[in-house]
Amino acid sequence: MEIVSLNPSNGMAVGKVGVTALDDVSSLVDVGIEAQARWGRMRVDERISLLTKGFYAVEQSADELAKLLSLEMGKDIRRSMGEVMGCAQGGQYLAAEVKEAIQSEKLPGGVTVEYCPHGVVGVISPWNYPLAMANNLIVPALVSGNTVVFKPSEETPLIAQDYVKILNQFLPEGVLQIIYGGKDVGVALVESNVSMIAFTGSMAAGKDIMRRASGSVKRLIMELGGNDPMIVLDDSVVEAAARFAVASSFENAGQMCTSTERVYVDEKIADVFEERVVEIARQYKIGPWDMPTVNIGPIINEKQRDKVIAHIQDAVEKGAKLRLGGEDHPDHFIRPTVITETPPDALMESEETFGPVVSISRFERVEEAIQRANGTEYGLGAVVFGSESRAREVGRRLIAGMVGINGGPGAGHAPWVGAKQSGFGYHGSIAGHRQFTQLRVLG
């Protein structure tokens, strides 16, 4: 069997990979277990040195990798190049941060706290940032002394294949292995003898992983999507808030886990805010990855595109006003869309839309906005615009792992973390890196 990777801009084949046989998954994990015995005994500086050589080689191949990423996933070449270079250059800084995190600590009384590798980590990553999301999980796993069996999304296997091939020019055999396939291959990985699963993907898939991993109490790090709210208070800088709302909703064609999906604006400034959002959104252009000035690329596949259209139609049928966009979306794309007066019972209020849609509702009292913002099972990110003190006060009442004040959530060396059903465990930061290790108290 094969996976044919399609260019989402036109449906044409980009390339193909063979599907990993289910019986081979456990065998590959066994190879990883054997390799980990040697890899885990290496000094951390030796592991980082090998990875750094790999990152340099990735950087040398950046042009080819960025083009392949754009062809396979659809984002424009500027964003693809940024993702490739972020992995190549940022990976080195990430490795150094992991080294700091896993240093042994001496406590009073002669007790030492050590951070030891788990064994083999199964990494399952999504298609929307096929290198960045994988890199953010693979690097801390490897630097910590684990080996990795990596299953990329079946939507973007080619860029993952080339990335692993480059790194494996420098890594010992069995340290980083890749498998290909859909849900059945992912299930085989979860149910294998891996010690840990690091996953980024849908909430439904995450719940299934938890059930399957519970039998052997595998360690889990999971980011499970979001339906991020944005609250715009009446003392906001309207221009800044409007520009953020559009940029966050449209980035990566809206296919971003921390994309703003629900905007709640104080009715005192709603008219001005909505008009400015429409004006800004009109400036965005859809098109394939190599078209100049393109802001919004294709939706990854027809199933996801149909879902976005269904959410738009559902909101309009329930009373929302379509201010920009329409039903004449070209094949493979969704036009930049602005909806106002989105009702509380609309699907996009409770579900992740994952498309280039700005959905706006008005509120009279901030309590109403907070209630609606917190009214879903998601809790990844949230944003509040307003004066610093008021925005922070409201932000502390939002149930989300990351809350941005007058800007996007999550930044710098902070953890990437979700609340409620948007996550289990977290990665990034000193504390996040340590989740790729088994704590051992010695003394």
As given in the structure block, the two tokens for residue 443 are 């003394």
| Cα–Cα–Cα angle for 431, 59, 87, rounded to 5 degrees | 25
* Catalytic residue of the set 72, 87, 154, 257: 257
CA distance 158 to 103: 36
Q: Is residue 85 a contact partner of residue 62, using CB atoms and an 8 Å limit?
A: yes
CA distance 150 to 162: 13
Pairing mode, strands 321-324 and 337-340: antiparallel
List % helix, strand, coil for the chain (3-state, nearest 5): 45, 20, 35
Told to judge if 393 belongs to the known catalytic residues of this protein, a careful annotator would answer no
As given in the structure block, the two tokens for residue 136 are 């953010």
* Catalytic residue of the set 83, 154, 155, 223: 223
Q: Cβ atoms within 10 A of the Cβ of 284, count?
A: 18
Told to judge if 100 belongs to the known catalytic residues of this protein, a careful annotator would answer no
Q: Which residues contact 185 (CB under 8 A, 6 or more apart)?
A: 19, 20, 22, 25, 151, 179
Residue 89, Cβ density class (10 Å: 0-12 exposed, 13-18 middle, ≥19 buried): middle
Q: Which residues contact 315 (CB under 8 A, 6 or more apart)?
A: 339, 342, 343, 346, 347, 348, 359
As given in the structure block, the two tokens for residue 105 are 């600590």
Backbone angles phi, psi at 39, to 5 degrees: -60, -40
Nearest 10 degrees: Cα torsion 419, 425, 430, 436: -170
Q: Is residue 380 a contact partner of residue 258, using CB atoms and an 8 Å limit?
A: yes
Whole-number Cα distances in Å, 357 to 97, 128, 325: 36, 17, 9
Known catalytic residues?
223, 257
